[in-house]
């Protein structure tokens, strides 16, 4: 087991060894609350929220609301105007977020037109100014999530040029998606699969910058693969696998934090989530908006398909509540070995 690096003392810093990636429409507050039935310690990220939504959207609760169980929690911002980002960082701190993260990795056309996301890798001076202004506005950590490169800026030297300028402005934590983005011609989805992964580039970045926290992201699917990465870099961020196969999270606390895991089985996690679901239904949320995040929980278990089908067919109906949820759970069986309780030796 890895020794826990205690030099990071902020809640976000202490949790950063393992995080769940920001994912639009996926890492909603309901997903994050569900993830907490499986891991208390992983650092969770919101979906990207643009500065425009925070400053001009209404109500602000819609973009920033979360429940206390979600800590440690980082807000990911999309934007490039230093003043607006600083204002939003201050708002994030006031709302109780543990970290604010700047998105320098999203390749969508829509965000590029507003100079948001991966296109900012071509403007390190803008990112540096933004980070500086955000840090001056808050005392929580300000971090950057970026790619290893964009378009033809795809050499170690290009990444170094970017990191150097942003680190000089005061940023000491970078989470690097180990795959370049093609800003023209590939969809955001293709940009998560088509350009090849290049872990060694991120690992070399860490070797050159022992003073920086370098996290790695992209294509990591097992806790063993995370452990292997942690021998080379400071932290690991997992995206799609943590969403599509949430049971992956069930052993994060014991594996990376030396702490007992909260859920002894998938069913126990699903049961522990009931009070949260009821509270959200009472606030007017729809069951399917919450239960859609659990569709991958019983992957590979007998009845897993019936569980998914029951929720897909009934959870959207008017008045759907815990009865539908419980009926879906009654259709699934969890093999004993899959449910083995995990405790710390």
Residue of 220, 248, 294, 301 interacting with ligand FMN (CB under 6 A): 220
Examine residue 105 and tell whether it contacts ligand FMN (CB under 6 A).
Answer: yes
CB of 273 to ligand FMN, least distance (A): 21
Instruction: Give the position of tokens 């507050």.
Output: 29
Regarding 50 and contact with ligand FMN (CB under 6 A), the answer is: no
Among 209, 240, 306, 314, binds ligand FMN (CB under 6 A): 240
Contact region with ligand FMN (CB under 6 A), list: 87-95, 217-225, 262-270, 286-294: 217-225
Ranges within 72-101 binding ligand FMN (CB under 6 A): 76
Q: Which of 88, 106, 171, 301 is catalytic?
A: 106
Orientation of helix 124-137 relative to helix 156-168, angle to 10°? 30
142: three-class secondary structure by DSSP = strand
Active site residue 119: no
Which is closer to ligand FMN, CB of 195 or CB of 219? 219
Helix (H) or strand (E) holding 204: helix 199-208
**Residue 272: CB partners within 8 Å, gap ≥ 6?**
37, 262, 263
Query: 18: closest CA among 296, 211, 26, 35?
Result: 35
Q: Which of 5, 10, 26, 316 binds ligand FMN (CB under 6 A)?
A: 26
331, 311 in Cβ contact below 8 A? Answer: no
Taking the alpha carbons at both ends of the chain, their separation in whole angstroms is: 11
Shortest gap between Cβ of 178 and ligand FMN (angstroms)?
Answer: 9
Give dist(CA 153, CA 122) in Å, integer.
Answer: 8
φ, ψ dihedrals at 20, nearest 5°: -100, 130
Using CB under 6 A, pick the residue from 50, 80, 203, 217 that binds ligand FMN: 217
Among 16-24, 32-40, 301-309, 320-328, the segment contacting ligand FMN (CB under 6 A): 16-24
Stretch binding ligand FMN (CB under 6 A), from 153-161, 211-219, 223-231, 268-276: 211-219
The Cα 328–Cα 26 span in angstroms is 21
Nearest to 39 by CA among 67, 53, 13, 20: 20
Tokens for 308?
Answer: 């998914």
Part in contact with ligand FMN (CB under 6 A); list of ranges 28-36, 213-221, 225-233, 283-291: 213-221
Q: Which two tokens stand for residue 344?
A: 């710390």
What is the C-alpha to C-alpha distance for residues 70 and 243, in angstroms, rounded to an integer? Answer: 16
Strands 18-20 and 43-50: parallel
Under rule CB under 6 A, which residues in 275-314 are in contact with ligand FMN?
none
Among 79, 141, 215, 239, binds ligand FMN (CB under 6 A): 239
Q: Which of 195, 219, 296, 304 binds ligand FMN (CB under 6 A)?
A: 219
Contact 215, 236 (CB under 8 A): yes
Q: Between the CA of residue 320 and those of 4, 28, 198, 276, what are the distances in Å? A: 44, 20, 45, 15
Closest approach of Cβ 9 to ligand FMN, in Å? Answer: 25
Given the structure tokens 């992201």, which residue do they identify? 217
Among 12, 13, 19, 22, binds ligand FMN (CB under 6 A): 22
Q: Return the residue of 13, 141, 218, 246 that touches ligand FMN, per CB under 6 A.
A: 218
| Sites for ligand FMN among residues 170-199 (CB under 6 A) | 177, 192
Return the range that interacts with ligand FMN (CB under 6 A); candidates 23-31, 207-215, 281-289, 335-343: 23-31
Residue ranges that bind ligand FMN, judged by CB under 6 A: 21-26, 47-48, 76, 103, 105-106, 145, 177, 192, 217-220, 238-241
Catalytic residues: 106
């Amino acid at each position: 087991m890895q020794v826990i690096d205690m030099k990071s003392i902020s809640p976000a810093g202490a949790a950063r060894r393992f995080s769940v990636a920001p994912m639009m429409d996926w890492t909603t507050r309901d997903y994050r609350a569900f993830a907490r039935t499986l891991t208390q310690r992983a650092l969770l990220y919101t979906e990207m929220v643009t500065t425009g939504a925070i400053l001009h959207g209404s109500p602000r609760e819609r973009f920033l609301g979360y429940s206390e169980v979600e800590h440690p929690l980082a807000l990911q911002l999309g934007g490039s105007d230093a003043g607006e980002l600083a204002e939003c960082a201050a708002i994030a701190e006031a709302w109780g977020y543990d970290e604010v993260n700047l998105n320098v990795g999203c390749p969508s056309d829509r965000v590029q037109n507003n100079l948001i996301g991966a296109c900012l890798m071509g403007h390190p001076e803008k990112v540096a100014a933004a980070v500086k202004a955000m840090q001056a506005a808050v005392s929580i950590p300000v971090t950057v999530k970026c790619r290893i490169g964009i378009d033809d800026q795809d050499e170690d030297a290009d990444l170094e040029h970017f990191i150097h300028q942003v680190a000089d402005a005061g940023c000491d934590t970078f989470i690097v998606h180990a795959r370049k983005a093609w800003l023209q011609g590939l969809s955001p989805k293709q940009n998560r699969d088509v350009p090849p992964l290049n872990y060694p580039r991120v690992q070399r970045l860490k070797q050159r910058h022992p003073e920086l926290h370098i996290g790695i992201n992209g294509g990591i699917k097992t806790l063993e693969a995370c452990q292997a990465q942690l021998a080379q870099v400071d932290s690991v961020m997992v995206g799609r696998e943590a969403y599509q196969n949430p049971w992956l999270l069930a052993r994060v606390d014991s594996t990376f934090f030396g702490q007992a895991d909260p859920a002894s089985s998938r069913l126990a996690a699903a049961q522990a989530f009931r009070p949260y679901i009821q509270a959200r239904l009472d606030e007017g949320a729809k069951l399917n908006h919450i239960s859609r995040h659990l569709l991958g929980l019983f992957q590979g278990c007998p009845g897993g398909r019936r569980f998914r089908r029951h929720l897909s067919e009934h959870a959207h109906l008017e008045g759907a509540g815990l009865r539908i949820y419980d009926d879906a759970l009654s259709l699934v069986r969890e093999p004993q070995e899959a449910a083995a309780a995990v405790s710390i030796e």
